[in-house]
Amino acid sequence: MEEDFKHMVRIARKDVDGNKPVAHAIADIKGVGIALSGAIISQMGLDLDQKIGYLPDDTINKIEDAIRDPKKVNVPDWMLNRRNDYETGKTEHLIESDLIMRLRDDLNRMKKIRSYKGRRHEVGLPVRGQRTKATFRKGSSVGVSRRRG
């Protein structure tokens, strides 16, 4: 049994630790949280507490396919991270570099059309309505300077 153990497992262009449980190892992939990984694992009928290093290669390939398209394993649409995409109108799930590029494109689009959120992103202020009197203080105007004398 010990010779079948893999210390590093490659899933979706990411190396994950083979000693981690399956749900936590899948959650290490950017764009996949613990809830989505648990849903994928339970829909596939695997044990959540099993270490990912003991899984055979064909099971890991099935997990990778499920991560790329969670709809194949009947994960509900509300768990996906791109619902009703702005450009295509489709519901899909993005991971790793695809997710990073799409988020960067979204921010650039908001900045280009000069939306409220885009302008707040440009100047580095909070976007979602937080107060700014006491928090988000950075720059040269932070603090009080005492007069010497």
Q: What is the pLDDT of residue 141?
A: 62
pLDDT recorded at residue 144: 67
Confidence of residue 117 (pLDDT cuts 50, 70, 90): very high
Q: What is the mean pLDDT of residues 103-126?
A: 93
SS (H, E, C) the chain: CHHHCCCEEEECCEEEECCCEHHHHHHCCCCCCHHHHHHHHHHHCCCCCCEHHHCCHHHHHHHHHHHHCHHHHCCCHHHCCECCCCCCCCCECCCHHHHHHHHHHHHHHHHHCCCHHHHHHHHCCCCCCCCCCCCCCCCCCCCCCCCCC
Q: In order of start, what are the domains of the chain with their CATH numbers?
A: 2-79 (1.10.8.50), 95-132 (no CATH)
